[in-house]
């Protein structure tokens, strides 16, 4: 017991969110690897194959998020993060060992790797939100986004440093080196405690109290433990009758639709089209080879990291809905304006689209990028949190998969400005969704957020009964 008591809260929060590094590295690494892979395997005119190789990780992540969400309710958040890191090590090494022209091999391996990426995207926010106190939950959950963006920037830097190697070696090393942060995560998580809410739910009160002593002030422990116990008892009664269909009915529906909707919109807004394909976007805009445009991903990566750090400063000072509204509006305009300007000023510099994309990335980095995972981590009731987080993660990855798969096909058949204008309209629809379907969660305990869902359900039920009587 004494050994366990030495775990500092900073260590818990750091390695609790470190899964984001893996998530980010694998989102970013293909950006730099793709130009070399395309040339090595002669895929310049194979938009479908390029789309599948790029988006295979996201396809696997669709299932990884759902599976990990369900299993984490049975095995615990910590154990599932450990399993995910092992899958990541194996998948990364196998990616780096791809045989020449092994398109199908690489697609299958990257789908396998996606299971771990999807699991990390579901587990890390759930774990962090359950460890963080309500007053700091936005900031501490936002560390996950800092980790993701740091992982992306790390992958961009690795890609840039390796670009001088022979092409067949360069892209393999870029993909294979993802095993290093995965191994670090595994070793760190070995020392992490389990989530106190999971422990209470499984009757391990002494362990839950001990974990709370690492991360709470002494006078907060008993009250929080009591609140978690009461909620867990109520939820255990209904959990036995909770199936996948239950999530979208009754008292859970309002909060589940809100959380899943935010997760889906984050991807359908098109951010990953920039992150996966920025060298190819610059190539199409300027005519220069994509392999010589690897400084652009680093610029985008720096913007993302700076934005995530800004979010840590402002996370618990502004309402979640206000930040999402601001971000979504500017992001939408950044995508729509180039298409309008292109019509008004036919000779406009093609690099203007890259400038607008940089504005998009800057606002995305401190609004939709971190807040999606904060909301996914805090909005779902305890009885369904693992399962609902898994579904939200899966919807997020469905959007990411479709964007990654379809973007090269779309840009092969229409102008980049038109493609981004479509994403801009989706950004504006996301703002409408936030204003009409998502409750404010800042500063509320997880139990208070759940109460909002129950009140909304009762109010809707009462309104329906009144309309029937009339």
| Residue 242 included in any domain | yes
| Residue 48 included in any domain | yes
pLDDT at residue 237, as a whole number = 67
Burial 157-174 (b: 16+ CB within 10 A, else e): bbbeebbeeebeebbbeb
Q: Which range among 125-134, 147-156, 255-264 shows the weakest confidence by mean pLDDT?
A: 125-134
Q: Measure Cα distances from 196 to 6, 96, 134, 220, 232 in Å.
A: 17, 38, 14, 14, 11
| Residue 395 included in any domain | yes
- Compare 343 and 138 and report the one with higher pLDDT: 343
Q: pLDDT tens across 162-199, in order?
A: 989 998 999 999 999 999 999 999 999 888 888 888 88
**CATH assignment at residue 445:** 1.20.1250.20
pLDDT at residue 2, as a whole number = 43
| Residue 133 included in any domain | yes
pLDDT at residue 141, as a whole number = 65
Domain ranges, residue 180: 10-469
pLDDT at residue 447, as a whole number = 78
Residues 351 and 292: beta-carbon distance below 8 Å: no
| Residue 94 included in any domain | yes
| Residue 4 included in any domain | no
Query: What's the whole-number average pLDDT of the chain?
Result: 86
Number of structural domains in the chain: 1
Q: pLDDT tens across 45-96, in order?
A: 888 898 999 899 989 988 887 788 778 878 888 889 899 999 999 999 999 9
Q: Which range among 11-15, 27-31, 162-166, 229-233 shows the weakest confidence by mean pLDDT?
A: 229-233
Give me the mean pLDDT over the 360-383 stretch: 89
| Residue 160 included in any domain | yes
Question: Would the pLDDT of 117 be above 60?
Answer: yes
Task: Report how far residue 227's alpha carbon sits from residue 455's, in angstroms, rounded to the nearest whole number.
Answer: 19
First to last CA, the chain: 64
Residue 423 pLDDT level (bands cut at 50, 70, 90): very high
Give me the mean pLDDT over the 143-171 stretch: 90
Question: Would the pLDDT of 3 be above 50?
Answer: no
Question: Would the pLDDT of 126 be above 80?
Answer: no
Q: What is the DSSP string of 202-255?
A: TT-HHHHHHHHHHHS-HHHHHHHHHHHHHHHHHHHHHHTT--GGGGGSGGGHHH
Question: Would the pLDDT of 470 be above 70?
Answer: no
Task: Report how far residue 459's alpha carbon sits from residue 45's, in angstroms, rounded to the nearest whole number.
Answer: 56
Give me the mean pLDDT over the 207-235 stretch: 79
Alpha helices (H) along 41-166: 47-75, 77-96, 103-131, 137-162
């Amino acid at each position: 017991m004494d050994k366990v008591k030495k775990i500092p809260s900073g260590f818990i929060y750091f390695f609790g969110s470190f899964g984001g590094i893996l998530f980010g590295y694998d989102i970013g690494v293909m950006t730099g690897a793709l130009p070399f892979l395309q040339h090595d395997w002669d895929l310049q005119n194979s938009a479908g194959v390029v789309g599948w190789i790029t988006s295979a990780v996201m396809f696997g992540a669709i299932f990884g998020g759902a599976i990990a969400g369900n299993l984490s309710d049975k095995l615990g958040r910590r154990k599932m993060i450990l399993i995910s890191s092992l899958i990541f090590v194996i998948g990364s090494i196998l990616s780096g060992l791809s045989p020449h022209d092994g398109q199908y091999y690489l697609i299958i391996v990257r789908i396998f790797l996606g299971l771990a990426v999807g699991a990390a995207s579901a587990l890390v926010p759930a774990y962090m939100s359950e460890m963080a106190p309500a007053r700091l939950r936005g900031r501490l959950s936002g560390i996950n986004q800092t980790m993701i963006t740091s992982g992306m920037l790390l992958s961009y830097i690795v890609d840039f440093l390796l670009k001088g190697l022979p092409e067949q070696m360069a892209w393999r090393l870029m993909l294979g080196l993802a095993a290093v942060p995965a191994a670090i995560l595994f070793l760190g998580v070995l020392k992490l405690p389990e989530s106190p809410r999971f422990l209470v739910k499984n009757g391990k009160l002494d362990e839950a109290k001990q974990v709370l002593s690492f991360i709470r002030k002494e006078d907060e422990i008993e009250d929080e433990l009591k609140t978690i116990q009461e909620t867990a008892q109520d939820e255990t009664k209904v959990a036995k009758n909770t199936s996948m269909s239950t999530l979208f009915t009754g008292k859970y529906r309002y909060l589940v639709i809100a959380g899943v909707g935010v997760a889906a919109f984050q991807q359908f807004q098109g951010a990953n089209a920039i992150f996966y394909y920025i060298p190819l976007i610059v190539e199409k805009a300027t005519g220069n080879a994509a392999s010589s445009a690897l400084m652009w991903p680093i610029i985008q990566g720096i913007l993302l990291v700076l934005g995530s750090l800004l979010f840590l400063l402002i996370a618990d000072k502004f309402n979640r809905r206000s930040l999402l509204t601001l971000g979504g509006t500017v992001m939408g305009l950044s995508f729509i304006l180039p298409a309008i300007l292109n019509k008004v000023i036919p000779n406009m510099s093609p690099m203007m689209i890259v400038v607008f994309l940089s504005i998009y990335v800057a606002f995305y980095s401190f609004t939709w990028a971190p807040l999606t995972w904060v909301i996914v981590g805090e909005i779902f009731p305890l009885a369904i949190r693992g399962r609902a987080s898994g579904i939200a993660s899966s919807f997020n990855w469905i959007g990411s998969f479709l964007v990654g798969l379809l973007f090269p096909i779309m840009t092969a058949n229409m102008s980049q400005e038109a493609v981004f204008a479509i994403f801009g309209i989706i950004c504006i629809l996301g703002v409408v969704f936030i204003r009409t379907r998502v409750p404010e969660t800042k500063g509320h305990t997880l139990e208070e957020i759940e109460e909002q869902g129950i009140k909304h359900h009762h109010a809707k039920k009462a309104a329906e009964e009144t309309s029937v009587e009339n």
